[in-house]
Structure 1
Amino acid sequence: MRSQVTRHVLRRPPATRGMATLILGSPTPRPIFRTYPVGCRVPRTVQRRPFFKLFQKPPRTVKNIEAEPGYEALLTYRFAHSKNLRPPPIPDLVKAWRDFFGYKARHNRVVNSLQALCAHEVLNYLIGPDKADNLILSSDDIYLAMQCLQKSPRDDPKQHLDLSRSLFREIRRRELNIQPGLLHNVTLDYRLGGLPGGSRYLDSFLVALSQYGRALEAKDLFLINLKDPKQSPHTDFHPRRSLFPVINGLAKEGQEQALREVVREAVKSGVPYDVSIHGVMTSFFARRDNIEETKFWWTRPIRKGLHPTPQTYYDVLQFALRNNQKEWAMEIYEDLVAQVESGSLSESKACWDVTFQFAFVLLGKGIDQIEHMFNVALERTKDKPKARPNIGSINSLIKCAIDKDDPYMAERFISLSKKMGFEPDLSTYILQLVYRLRAEDLDGAFATYQALRSLETSSNERELPVLNRLIRGLCASSRPDYGQILDVTGYLEQRHVTLEPETVVSICMAFMKNDETHEVIDTLSLHTAHYSIAERRMVRESFVNYCLDEKNSTARVWDSYALLRQFFPEVEAKDRVPIMDAFFDRRRPDMACHVFGHMRSHENTRIRPTLDHYVRCLEGIGRCPDMESLKMIHNMAKMDTTIQLNTRLYNALMIGYVACDTSHRALDFWREVTTSPEGPSYATLEIVFRAYEAQPYGDAPAKELWAKITKMDVDVPEHVYSAYLATLAAHSHLADVKLLLDDCDSIIGRRPDFLTFAYVYNALPSKEMKEDFESWSQHDYPTLWKALTQKHRRRKDEDGLPQFRISRPWKA
């Protein structure tokens, strides 16, 4: 540190200078001129505190990860359970359970598969034989969890199904008063019998079974309770309410016979054949193009003479168009129009909307004719406000235009709604976003989003899928508008919406191309913590693919890898090793070895490098030499107790040291191999010949080794033979090289290929020898030399000598 005393000393005169002529006691006059030299002054900066700095933006901060209440405790228990550690206290787990599922219920959030798995493990712990008697979790706690599980996840619902089954079993165990430890020895009776309140939980369980691929089991459970003659008349079980999810699940799974059976038995037991059953059965057979069954279920009378739902009408219309049943559909349309005009259905707005759809899709009416129909309907329903056409009628027509892939007609319907004075609603904007995105009209789609955002509606999730599609469309544009992307994502962030993993991938890739790393960090921080394992894998693989894309710059790839390592520490070794190879291919061995070092220091033993990974890394250093990286990997290998040095690893070390111009160190490993029980391999022989090629006076030991090989009368692979020829050529033994090439048939059993000639040519140390070898090859092996010159060009090296542009691969 610079001395402050010295600076002041240089500015002051010595104590004896200029004082000898002064009379003691006389006043000292002020000198006109300085009697001592002036030192160099050090300028002092004036401290300034500008007022305007108060209004500068603070530095960018990373957004914090917002974990859902209680979820951290569930994860902590799962980690402790997997590591045989002490779990969190029971009161903390109970509070976490209630906070987590209470938060999910209040905000209508989906429980992903990882959260369901954690909750299932906590449930098994809390209802264990030593704790179940205390009823730590109440029935209301369990029922709330069952209700939260009714919202389908984006990925595999297996964990949801398993948790729903365990929750229902626990409730039934309490109702049937079965001891906790005996549950696995008892065949659980699902029948309600006379137990009050049992159906309250059965409904939720039937929903879970039906939508998670177990509709047949739900059907059997429904029929058991439906047929039970001992069922109490005062039970809360409502077959009509429980039937709908069951038949929906059967229709979704394509279980035709089971669907017929459950409807038949339900109607036989007194469940009315209402519009919901009629709609499921008719639409099921219509979508399967079963003409007879579709007509049968369509014509079956509905309870109280009610008309089918608009969705059923539309499914039948599409069925008729696909199966050349336009005449039958025309009969349905004429009958509907007659009932609407006669007055029996004149007060049904849904039926008016269906007539508009039939006129547009079936009859091909244009926009002017549709407008005339609207005016007629408005005139006839002027005294019936609930039956008057409104924006919902326009929405039904827009949906038809979308299904016909006609965005132009959809826009005309929007114009018609403005002309009729209908105010667009949320459904209008959602449909408009759909067809504009299909037409790749991104500017129009963003304008629709801005109009949708201005709607004063309660929190709704219907628009979230199409807003995710909008973000993906904006990101996929050839020239993305990053301001628009941030506008949409900021709006959804304010609503605490978790984006779909495909959307997060699109955002991250778009901002990575624009070097907006902070935006990528914010996006990953806000959303990946709420993803399941499968969803995280989807995002993770996109970053891995980005790192492996040769079109991306090295700086961007390194940033991508840093984010991958930060947000996805679970990245497997099978994904890390290709990234390491990619950095070697980019001629960045330092980055590649850092990737390897991160694997080596990982806390998960399954991600740490194996012997194969060490070999692969050292082979990469052989392709792209770097002494610092080589020493680092060698030290890791020496300190790694999980691997054992063998011939293959010694070969890899020899490759690294030969490539780094320290062939003498590689020959030390060769001596280790020769004295090891395993002994050398053919790869070892090739590597040691290449070490002799780079070693001064390496021709003598190379000839001794070749003599031993020929004396042992073993088969010589071509790559060992080529390495020995290159060694002789590097040490100017061109005559011996020519003799060995002529004797190739007797050594390796076939003629040499042009790669061997290229290796020899590149190894020759002088221009004269290269010209001599080229002349000899053109004369004795014209075909091989011509093939070599045609496939590989020559260039000059740093010494000005011509070299074929060909690489010699390293293999341990």
Structure 2
Amino acid sequence: MRAHVARHARHFVVRRASSSHSLFAPIPRRRHLSPHTLHSNHTQCRNFFGVLFQKPPREVRQPEYEPGWMKIMLWRSRMLDNLRPPPRKELLQSWRDLMASKIKTGQPLNATQAMQCRRLLEWLAGPIPEGEGGKPLANSDLDAARRVLLLIEPYERSEAHVQLAKTLHRIWQSEEITGKREDSTKSWSYMVLGMARHGASREAVQELYAKWNEADYKALVSGENKLIEKVAQDLAREGHEQELLQLYARVEEDELQLAPRLHEIITMFYAQNNRVPEGKEWFAKPMPIEGQVRAETYYAVASFARRNGLQQWANPFFEELMERQPRKTHWHVVLQAMLLMGEDLSNVRKTLLSMQGPNGPLTADTSTINAMLDVACDTLDAGLADEILAIANEESIRTDAETYLRLMSLYLAAGSPPATVDAAFERFQEAGALEPDAPMQSWAQYAQLLNRYLLYLTRQRPVDFKAISKILKVMEEEMLHLNPDTAAALCLRFLENEQTYDVLDILSANVFRYSGDQRDLVQQAIMSFTLDPQTSTARAWNAYQIMKEFFQDLSRERREAVLRAFFDRKRPDMATHVISHMRQHSRMDVQPTIDTYVSVFEGFANNPDRQGTENVHNMLKMDVRIQPDTRLNTALMLAYAACERPLYALDFWNEIKFSAEGPTYGSLAAVFWVLERKSDGAKMARDIWAKIESMDLEVPANVYINYIGVISAQGDEKEVRGLVTKMASFTGVEPDAMTLGVAFNALPGDDLQASFKEWAKQQYPVQWTALLKKRKHMNEHGLCEYRISRRVCA
């Protein structure tokens, strides 16, 4: 009955520890409180009126999950634990909810979501479990995922996305899918596009070659859906030059109509990578089929010419373009090229007012001004931007929200003062911001710009938290999300400013939308704050609490780093809480290993805490995964000896002696260190030393120094002198300041210390002088001690 009650009580404690309220768990107090602390004025100030009129704590924002995502994660967790999954009908609805949310908000699938959605898709496409009704997957379910993969610009490009694209195609071909079936060739094209878009363009082009000559795929390969063009763009984006050239050769050989577009893609590839000979050759090279070169290609070439001093080479191309009297988009690139080539702004203005298109004069408008501002943004020339805006004002050309977004981008990239950036942002809002029905790409660019602005503000000193709060409020109203690097930087600044609630809000709203790698970026920022020695202990504890709650996947290695940090801060009580949280964790890869326990007991040895040592030892006893070895028993011996329990510590020495592994040099150094604290430890130490001598072992210096400490503690000062003198013959190294300090500190009397001091000054003057540089203090027995760093380890 008692075991039953204990088990349920433990579950209750674990549940309470994992609830949101534990974020505000009090900082563990040091256990030895003085009477002054217990009767401080702070305690006396708590009265009825203070409680009655106390401001209620701010509510923590509830974690925000994308629709359907938590149900999918619950399914995955239950599958891993071999438990009954949620009803299939609910999981299918969760799939639909997640995809609908992605399409509505324009948020891409992150790598973790892509991986778990692929697994769920394979499960949903399998046999329907016995006893469950419901319909099989519909074509519309697969189409929604395809739209998310292909229509939303990805933030991450991973193998998980590629595998999802392949799985969609495979299941599309299944006989179990209901609804109007897609043509298999079209489904294949979606797979190829998905692969190329998410980092597998080389594999995608091989898929193209495999179907190149098949009659059923001829229409797609020849240019329908711009399949080859998009694969070529992804090859260029990933830098696969040879594959790109081979694809072009294949297209040109078959005289396909899309050869000119690939010609432009290759030209832009060389131009953007500043490949001067190739860039000049490909742009001047006649197109396989006569056609109008796109404005974006002309702009890439103009920018390429500016960066590489090729203005004279490029000018004739743009003069020829002007003579053709092109469309307005090409006139815009002519104006851009003039600015890039360093043309006087008055000449640019004349050209702007005299544009002639195929059907007559063209009037400059907002898009013209915005195109010219793109040059100022690319060249980081704020002065040029001001002159362009002056032209717009003089010619009564209206500016719009896009204008001020460009100015913000320019000022951020140029490192302009925050007030300048803020003024542009205010003008953007006055101009009406973005319309709700604006293209998804415009909203994505807007979100990226606000993220850049926030990152910019976090780098300013001092940090303008008022401006940060304003931008965060705008993003919340517009339902825009923080990038992982932005969230990480904001968390760091808010932690430094003790704005814990703001950190919680950021994590609640964003971190559960991130993939594993993205979450890791935020973890690293909070970890760096927690481990920074300049961070106060209270703040470090709060940061750890936040990590524990929001990052259940916090790795064992990082938790162990936090453990060591709290020991370094002389807070073994906090370290005890950390290992307790590890022990209670459900994941095996987070629970403590034998190395973790060794590290903790070594920490207790250097920062004594009897209650903490006993608590962790009890955890160890109940941990059936751990089989104590010599190293772990050594660490236990050190921890209990530091807590003034040398007799109990020697029980672990007996375990070591009779174990199959036997003693190590570490355990020998440890047992001498323990015996130094035992009133009659010299007898046992001499017996151990006699065995060492009889075995003719090579003795490390730390073992020998600890043996000197035992003999010194017994007050045999003459024997200590002899041991110090013989040290080189046993260890191969001469006595140093540490050797003399251990011997001096352990001697139990002023007269013994004075005698040893006089002898050491004469025999080892250099080493003694080095020891004198150490600080001194009086121990609990009123004897002088030098503060020497005598850290012990197993």
Matched pairs, number: 732
Secondary structure of the residue that 1:149 maps to in structure 2? helix
Secondary structure of the residue that 1:803 maps to in structure 2? strand
Counterpart mapping for 1:405-804 below 5 A = 405-440=380-415, 441-454=417-430, 455-459=432-436, 460-789=443-772, 792-797=774-779, 801-804=783-786
For 1:260 and 1:435, locate their aligned partners in 2 and report how far apart those are by CA, in whole Å. Answer: 35
The answer to whether the aligner puts 1:360 opposite 2:339 as a matched pair is: yes
Change (3 A) 1:302 1:674: closer
Secondary structure of the residue that 1:463 maps to in structure 2? helix
Does the 8 Å contact 2:602/2:792 carry over to 1?
A: yes
**Residue in 2 that maps onto 1:126:** 124
Range 729-738 or range 269-278, more displaced:
269-278
For 2:472 and 2:639, locate their aligned partners in 1 and report how far apart those are by CA, in whole Å. Answer: 48
Does the 8 Å contact 1:165/1:205 carry over to 2?
A: yes
1:188-208 superposed Cα distances (whole Å, 9 cap, x missing partner): xxxxxxx98344433422321
Does the 8 Å contact 1:590/1:626 carry over to 2?
A: yes
Range 481-490 or range 248-257, more displaced:
248-257
For 1:675 and 1:227, locate their aligned partners in 2 and report how far apart those are by CA, in whole Å. Answer: 77
**Residue in 2 that maps onto 1:108:** 106
The code of the aligned residue for 1:596 comes to I
Does the 8 Å contact 1:206/1:245 carry over to 2?
A: no
* CA RMSD across the alignment: 3.2
The code of the aligned residue for 2:481 comes to T
Change (3 A) 1:685 1:138: same
For 1:221 and 1:693, locate their aligned partners in 2 and report how far apart those are by CA, in whole Å. Answer: 74
**Residue in 1 that maps onto 2:167:** 166
**Residue in 2 that maps onto 1:67:** 65
For 1:448 and 1:578, locate their aligned partners in 2 and report how far apart those are by CA, in whole Å. Answer: 44
Range 270-279 or range 512-521, more displaced:
270-279
Change (3 A) 1:90 1:246: same
Range 114-123 or range 291-300, more displaced:
291-300
For 2:250 and 2:657, locate their aligned partners in 1 and report how far apart those are by CA, in whole Å. Answer: 82
For 2:698 and 2:134, locate their aligned partners in 1 and report how far apart those are by CA, in whole Å. Answer: 77
Change (3 A) 1:381 1:324: closer
**Structure 1: 5+ residue stretches without partners:** 1-44, 178-194
Higher relative contact order (CA 8 A, sep 6+): 2
For 1:270 and 1:607, locate their aligned partners in 2 and report how far apart those are by CA, in whole Å. Answer: 60
1:369-402 superposed Cα distances (whole Å, 9 cap, x missing partner): 444443445xx689968x3222333333333233
1:739 CA drift (Å): 1.3
Percent of paired sites with the same residue = 30
The code of the aligned residue for 1:139 comes to N
Larger radius of gyration: 1
1:218 to 204, 214, 226: 204
For 1:753 and 1:303, locate their aligned partners in 2 and report how far apart those are by CA, in whole Å. Answer: 85
The code of the aligned residue for 1:207 comes to L
For 1:540 and 1:572, locate their aligned partners in 2 and report how far apart those are by CA, in whole Å. Answer: 10
The code of the aligned residue for 2:162 comes to L
Change (3 A) 1:764 1:248: same
Range 104-113 or range 571-580, more displaced:
104-113
1:409-447 superposed Cα distances (whole Å, 9 cap, x missing partner): 333333443343333334322221222123332222122
The answer to whether the aligner puts 1:396 opposite 2:371 as a matched pair is: yes
**Structure 2: 5+ residue stretches without partners:** 1-46, 437-442
**Residue in 1 that maps onto 2:137:** 137
Change (3 A) 1:231 1:131: farther
1:365 CA drift (Å): 2.9
The answer to whether the aligner puts 1:319 opposite 2:304 as a matched pair is: yes
Secondary structure of the residue that 1:694 maps to in structure 2? coil
1:343-381 superposed Cα distances (whole Å, 9 cap, x missing partner): x33xx222322232222221x23444444443445xx68
The code of the aligned residue for 2:271 comes to A
1:598 CA drift (Å): 0.6
The code of the aligned residue for 2:499 comes to E
The code of the aligned residue for 1:809 comes to R
1:708 CA drift (Å): 3.9
1:271-298 superposed Cα distances (whole Å, 9 cap, x missing partner): 4358744431321233352535643454
For 1:207 and 1:198, locate their aligned partners in 2 and report how far apart those are by CA, in whole Å. Answer: 14
For 2:311 and 2:96, locate their aligned partners in 1 and report how far apart those are by CA, in whole Å. Answer: 56
For 2:201 and 2:221, locate their aligned partners in 1 and report how far apart those are by CA, in whole Å. Answer: 22
For 2:579 and 2:236, locate their aligned partners in 1 and report how far apart those are by CA, in whole Å. Answer: 52
For 1:759 and 1:231, locate their aligned partners in 2 and report how far apart those are by CA, in whole Å. Answer: 84
1:503-539 superposed Cα distances (whole Å, 9 cap, x missing partner): 1111111111111111111110110111111111111
1:802 CA drift (Å): 4.0
Change (3 A) 1:276 1:57: farther
**Residue in 2 that maps onto 1:811:** 793
Does the 8 Å contact 2:221/2:228 carry over to 1?
A: no
